[in-house]
Amino acid sequence: MTDTIATKDRVRVVETLVLSDDWYVLRKVIFDFQRRDGAWQRQSRETYDRGNGATILLHNPRTGNVLLTRQFRMPAFVNGHDGMLIEAPGGLLDNATPEERIRAEVEEETGYRVGRIEKIFEAFMSPGSVTEKLYFYVGEYDGSMRVGDGGGIVDEGEEIEVLEIPLQEAMRMIGRGEIADGKTIMLLQHLALTRAATRP
């Protein structure tokens, strides 16, 4: 039985091969894994390493609106979507702390400079193949926090539309398939549950 053995002692990496090192790094890892009955099994998996990221949902408690973005995503496009995904602002950490990065990202994408924000959880979004862990935040906004137009960075190919949507409409958009981004659905559901729990 392996119940008392640390996971790191059940994994023996045999070889790591770099398959692609272009936009991010794709590796093939060959390893031996000790099964629960004690037997060792040779396996191989591909891991896509793009670094970790952060995302945030901004909401206006006075109006009940949330601030989202819409931009083109090629991976969604090649999988049958029109590619224009509605999302919560976010981006890769790029050697910054999660809070530093998300503050910069939300200003670049939406034009809003946020005040107090709250980290609510961390999550692996596609652990079967992607190493990325996301740090999830929520925060409040109002019109006084707008310092620019947003829209992203043109040199990085970004063309981001800023959307202000009532929370309840955003929840209905999930049901209609109009919001299909996983991180955004998680943040919207968290906010909806939190608001429901605090109602008298």
Amino acid 46: pLDDT: 97
pLDDT digits (tens, 9 = 90+) for 164-195: 999 999 999 999 999 999 999 999 999 999 98
Distance CA 23, CA 32 (A): 29
Instruction: Summarize the confidence of residues 71-78 as an average pLDDT.
Output: 95
Provide the percentage of residues in the chain whose pLDDT is more than 90. 87
Amino acid 3: pLDDT: 66
Q: Kindly indicate the confidence band of residue 81, based on its pLDDT and cuts at 50, 70 and 90.
A: very high
Distance CA 196, CA 200 (A): 9
pLDDT digits (tens, 9 = 90+) for 30-61: 999 999 999 999 999 999 999 999 999 999 99
Q: Answer whether residue 1 shows pLDDT above 80.
A: no
Sign of CA dihedral 148, 172, 192, 183: negative
Tell me if the domain spanning 53-198 has CATH number 1.10.1040.50.
no
Distance CA 8, CA 10 (A): 5
Q: Kindly indicate the confidence band of residue 18, based on its pLDDT and cuts at 50, 70 and 90.
A: very high
pLDDT digits (tens, 9 = 90+) for 124-155: 999 999 999 999 999 999 999 999 888 878 77
Contact by Cβ (8 Å): 47, 129: yes
Amino acid 73: pLDDT: 95
Listed by start position, the domains of the chain span 7-49, 53-198
Burial of 155 (C-beta count, 10 Å sphere; 0-12/13-18/19+) = exposed
